[in-house]
Amino acid sequence: MSGQSTTRTVPGSSGPGGARAGGRTGQRLSNLAVALGMVLFLGGFVWGAVVYRPYTVPTTSMAPTIGAGDRVLAQRIDGADVRRGDVVVFEDATWSNAPMVKRVVAVGGDKVSCCQDGKLKVNGKEIDEPYLPEDTVTGFANFPEVTVPKGRLFLLGDERSGSVDSTAHLTDAASGTVSRGAVRARVDAVAWPMDGMLEAPTGFEQLGALSSPGPLRTVVALVIGGAVLVLGGAAYGPVAKRAGASRARANAGTAGVR
């Protein structure tokens, strides 16, 4: 039968059925990646919306940490969880009818005063505050020692010379302090412009533990990771299908002919 020829598929090569199987596998992987990505993406957004609130800071009282017009993300917390050094959002009728942003420098039972050697003093210890403007020493407003009542907070702006803070309310019945219950949230980061997480107030560590950052980094990682999976999964299906078809055509062209 020397005049006849036969064609055989090389063992292990992918024919049309193999291409279809590869396409189905690629599509399943693509769908899985998209589904997982959507869960992470939406889950991150929902988590962030539950835990954080955005605020716009209208003044320069917290400069240079937070500038006028900056958008911040503040974690919803209970006032009982506030610690020294925290930048908080609070509302107090005697201060303003709008949310205000200041830094907590003393809590109930603390003795706070200013200034010796241009530094704030809390419970007899000078506090190093590297987040303050460079000219803060010359702009510091002196005030006599204040004993913070239990359950209350003493707050200052980082722009000490121009901030309307506890020092402007020293003649009030509460000596310029604010109730812990007035706190609505703790600022974690400046979202716009994207300056990132606030600097840790390490100068207050000598007085006690600092607050731990909120889950903002994890939330952002979930959102970004989810977006990558959605985009990658959506692109993988068509790419895998075309690649499978190309392999099938290539294998068909190299099939054995005898």
pLDDT digits (tens, 9 = 90+) for 118-149: 789 999 999 999 998 876 554 566 888 999 99
Between 242 and 30, where is the model more confident? 30
Given the residues 102, 119, 166, 175, the one annotated as active site:
102
Is residue 42 located within the same domain as residue 72? no
More confident residue, 1 or 161: 161
| 3 located within any domain | no
pLDDT at 22 over 70: no
Q: Give the model's confidence band at 92: pLDDT under 50 very low, under 70 low, under 90 confident, else very high.
A: very high
Residue 6 lies in a domain: no
Kindly report which listed range (134-148, 179-193, 241-255) carries the lowest average pLDDT score.
241-255
113 is catalytic: no
* Within-domain flag for 69: yes
- Using pLDDT thresholds of 50, 70 and 90, give the confidence band for residue 163: confident
218 Cα distance to chain centroid: 8
- Please pick, among 14, 30, 61, 211, the residue that the annotation labels catalytic: 61
111 belongs to the catalytic site: no
Statement: residue 83 has pLDDT above 80: yes
* Average pLDDT of the chain, as a whole number: 85
Does residue 238 form part of some domain? yes
Domain that holds residue 71: 54-214
Are 64 and 163 in the same domain?
Answer: yes
Do 94 and 30 fall within a single domain? no
At 71, which CATH number?
Answer: 2.10.109.10
| Segments of 77-182 assigned E as strands | 87-90, 100-107, 111-116, 119-122, 125-127, 143-147, 152-156, 178-179
| Range 72-81 average pLDDT | 96
